[in-house]
């Protein structure tokens, strides 16, 4: 008899997990309060970051921390009133970001990143979504030689240890690749391996379509209604109650609340981010995904327009929008590229689900049968969706995951 499974959360991680379970003979129902890809997966920078072997750490230098404390930067912003409630998470994040710990975490994290392109390629081809993908990497530019040289030194280490490919680019190279950009840059890095996505929401939707072509289905439902039922799980959906032997929680930043109802406590922090699309003035063209590294924003030539994305905002998940970083970034971006009018009626905001050790939570719930977790991917949710879906589906169906996922086990926070 076919075993049923439910996957809560229809972002890129949940959709990918649903695909891999359906492929392995489970009858899967994907459940969310909105259509797939309409939350965090909607608003990212559109990069499948094969180069991102080192997760984003918390600054360690005292001088830099003091500059962040002024709360006037593009790459980070915080809500002063909510900071006390976040201090425990931030302290653990800071501790894990010291050089020794961060190096160990990077080695444990790297296998996920190393397989990100191959696992996306599988789903891109299966869902016939090739038209959404570019395979020419992306560029990080620097304004000062010191920061450029520091980044190139780090890139060389990653190439030697993790096989990351890159080119050093000069200011002349930048001018050639982006003739409509202005400003004086010291050079940069072109990461060769990553793929970019012209429309992240459309990619998740394509994966959803492929999932349904395999016999899976999507229904709306309320994650708060998930409960044990006999030897399995039960949830209320828009089509009535649904029962399944296995339940996967892939709810991104809302996973902490859903798991807390079941008796778990995960130190899941939130980094909110914003984006806006712009027209280009006149005949100007942006050719590449471009990160202004020392200012902390990214410009991406997407289908909707030129997407400008911001850094991290430390605030509660449900706090009102405060897109001050977007306004700051736009002012700087207009000095290097001829951005035209805003194309969106208001800034988009999403929330990245983050753990204090910078690694996702993937695996079996410690105290429940048939309950599985897949969340906490921070800045790399789009990148890691398919590889997470595969390893978790392998675990659920009794296979040996094709990479070692012990480092991502939920037991590290909930014994």
Question: Cβ(212)–Cβ(167) under 8 Å?
Answer: no
Mean pLDDT of 105-122: 98
pLDDT value of position 74: 93
Express each pLDDT in 294-316 by its tens digit. 999 999 999 999 999 999 999 99
Q: What is the pTM of this model?
A: 0.96
pLDDT value of position 34: 84
381 and 364 together in one domain: yes
pLDDT value of position 138: 98
In the chain, % of residues over pLDDT 70? 100
Q: Is the pLDDT of residue 43 over 80?
A: yes
5 — pLDDT class (breaks 50, 70, 90): very high
Residue 368 lies in a domain: yes
72 and 30 together in one domain: no
Q: What share of the chain is helix, strand, coil (3-state, %, to 5)?
A: 40, 25, 35
The number of distinct structural domains making up the chain is 2
pLDDT value of position 53: 97
**Cα–Cα dist 129/125, whole Å:** 6
Longest dimension (CA), the chain: 67
pLDDT value of position 39: 81
Q: Is the pLDDT of residue 166 over 70?
A: yes
Distances (CA, A) of 21 to 3, 232, 384, 388, 390: 10, 16, 16, 12, 8
Residue 167 lies in a domain: no
Express each pLDDT in 120-161 by its tens digit. 999 999 999 999 999 999 999 999 999 999 999 999 999 999
Residue 154 lies in a domain: no
206 and 317 together in one domain: no
245 and 113 together in one domain: yes
Strand order in the sheet with 361-364: 217-220, 27-32, 4-8, 246-249, 371-375, 361-364
pLDDT value of position 135: 98
Q: Is the pLDDT of residue 1 over 70?
A: no
281 and 343 together in one domain: yes
Helices and strands in the chain: count of H runs, count of E runs = 11, 23
349 and 395 together in one domain: no
pLDDT value of position 78: 92
Mean pLDDT of 318-330: 96
pLDDT value of position 162: 97
Q: Is the pLDDT of residue 225 over 90?
A: yes
pLDDT value of position 42: 86
Q: Is the pLDDT of residue 408 over 60?
A: yes
Domain residue limits at 405:
1-57+97-133+196-268+356-415
260 and 345 together in one domain: no
Query: How does DSSP assign 168-188, residue by residue?
Result: EE-HHHHHHH-TT--S---EE
**Cα–Cα dist 136/50, whole Å:** 12
pLDDT value of position 154: 96
Report CA torsion sign: 201, 207, 211, 213. Answer: positive
Q: Is the pLDDT of residue 363 over 60?
A: yes
pLDDT value of position 104: 97
pLDDT value of position 67: 86
In the chain, % of residues over pLDDT 90? 91
Q: Give first-to-last CA distance, the chain, whole Å.
A: 33
Q: Is the pLDDT of residue 413 over 70?
A: yes
pLDDT value of position 32: 95
346 and 403 together in one domain: no
Q: Is the pLDDT of residue 229 over 70?
A: yes
212 and 117 together in one domain: yes
Report CA torsion sign: 155, 157, 163, 168. Answer: positive
Average of per-residue pLDDT values in the chain: 96
Q: Is the pLDDT of residue 382 over 90?
A: yes
Distances (CA, A) of 259 to 209, 247, 254, 361, 385: 28, 12, 9, 12, 20
Q: Is the pLDDT of residue 194 over 70?
A: yes
247 and 322 together in one domain: no
- For the chain, give the number of residues: 415
76 and 2 together in one domain: no
Residue 185 lies in a domain: no
Mean pLDDT of 345-353: 96
4 — pLDDT class (breaks 50, 70, 90): very high
5 and 129 together in one domain: yes
pLDDT value of position 164: 97
Helices (H), 132-218: 145-162, 171-177, 200-213
Residue 182 lies in a domain: no
**Cα–Cα dist 284/409, whole Å:** 48
């Amino acid at each position: 008899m076919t075993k049923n499974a439910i996957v809560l959360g229809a972002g890129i991680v949940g959709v990918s997990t649903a695909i891999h379970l359906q492929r392995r003979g489970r009858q899967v129902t994907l459940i969310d309060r909105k259509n797939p890809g309409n939350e965090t997966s909607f608003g990212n920078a559109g990069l499948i970051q094969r180069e991102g072997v080192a997760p984003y750490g918390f600054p360690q230098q005292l001088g830099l921390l003091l500059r962040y404390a002024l709360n006037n930067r593009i790459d980070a912003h915080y809500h002063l009133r909510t900071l006390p409630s976040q201090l425990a998470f931030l302290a653990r994040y800071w501790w894990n970001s010291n050089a020794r710990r961060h190096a160990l975490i990077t080695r444990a994290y790297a296998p996920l990143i190393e397989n990100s392109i191959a696992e996306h390629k599988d789903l891109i081809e299966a869902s016939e979504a090739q038209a959404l993908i570019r395979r020419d990497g992306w560029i990080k530019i620097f304004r000062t030689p010191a920061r450029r040289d520091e980044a190139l030194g780090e890139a060389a280490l990653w190439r030697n240890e993790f096989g990351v490919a890159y080119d050093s680019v000069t200011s002349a190279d930048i001018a050639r690749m982006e003739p409509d950009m202005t400003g004086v840059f010291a050079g940069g890095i072109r990461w060769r391996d990553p793929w970019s996505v012209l429309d992240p929401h459309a990619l998740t939707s394509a994966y959803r379509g492929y999932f349904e072509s395999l016999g899976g289905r999507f229904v709306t439902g309320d994650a708060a209604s998930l409960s044990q039922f006999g030897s399995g799980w039960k949830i209320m959906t828009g089509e009535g109650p649904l029962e399944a032997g296995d339940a996967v929680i892939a709810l991104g930043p809302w996973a902490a609340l859903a798991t807390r109802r079941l008796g778990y406590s995960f130190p899941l922090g939130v980094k909110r981010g914003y984006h806006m699309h712009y027209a280009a003035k006149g005949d100007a063209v942006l050719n590449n995904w471009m990160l202004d590294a020392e200012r902390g924003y990214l410009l991406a030539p997407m289908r909707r327009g030129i997407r400008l994305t911001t850094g991290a905002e430390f605030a509660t998940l449900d706090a009102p929008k405060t897109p001050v970083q977007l306004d700051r970034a736009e002012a700087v971006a207009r000095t290097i590229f001829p951005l035209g009018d805003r194309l969106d009626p208001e800034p988009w905001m999403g929330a990245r689900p983050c753990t204090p050790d910078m690694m996702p939570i993937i695996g079996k719930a410690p105290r429940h049968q048939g309950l599985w977790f897949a969340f906490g991917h921070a800045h790399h949710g789009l990148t890691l969706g398919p590889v997470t879906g595969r390893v978790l589906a392998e675990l659920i169906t009794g296979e040996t995951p094709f990479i070692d996922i012990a480092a991502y086990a939920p037991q590290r926070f909930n014994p």
